[in-house]
Structure 1
Amino acid sequence: MQQERLSLIFLLVILCWRGVKAVDLTACEGETAQLTCDLTSQVIACDSDIASLHCDQGHIKVLSANYGRTNSATCSGGKPANQISNVQCTQDSSLNVLASRCDGRKDCSIPAISTVFGDPCVGTYKYLNVSYICIPSSAIIQKRTTCEGDTVSINCNNRFIKVLSANYGRTNSATCSTGKPSNQISNVQCTQSSSLSVLANRCDGIHACSVYASSTVFGDPCSYIFKYLNVSYICHPNNQFIKVSAANFGRTNGTTCSTGKPADQISNVQCSQSSSLSVLNTQCDGLKDCSVPASSTVFGDPCLGTYKYLNVSYTCGPDPSSLT
Structure 2
Amino acid sequence: MAFCVGLWLTIMRLLLLTAGVESAEQVITCDINHQQVHHLHCGQGVIDVTDALYGRSSSEVCIEPQSHETVADTKCTRQGTLDKVKIGCNGKQSCDLFLEDFRKPDPCVGTSKYLLTNFDCMPAITAVACEMSIAHLYCGPGHVIHVYGADYGRRNDNICQYKRHRHGIENKECIGPNDIVANKCNGQNKCDIMASNAVFGDPCPGTYKYLEVAYSCGDKDENQTTYLWYKVAQTGKSSLLGIFQLAFNIFGNMASCVGICSKIVLVATALFLATVVNSVEQMTTCDSDNLNVHRLHCEGGVISVDQALYGRSSSVVCAEGRPPQQVVNTQCAGQGTVDALKTECNGKRTCMVNTNTFRNPDPCVGTFKYLQTNFTCFPAITTIACEESLMHLFCEAGQVISVFGADYGRRDRSTCSYKRPPNQLQNVECLSPTEIVANRCNGKSSCTIRAINSVFGDPCRGTYKYLEVAYACFFN
TM-score tier after normalising by the smaller chain length: 0.3 to 0.5
TM-score for the superposition, normalised by structure 2: 0.28
| TM-score, normalization by structure 1 | 0.39
Using CA pairs under 8 Å that are at least 6 residues apart, name the structure with larger relative contact order, 1 or 2: 1
Structure 1 or 2: more helix by fraction: 2
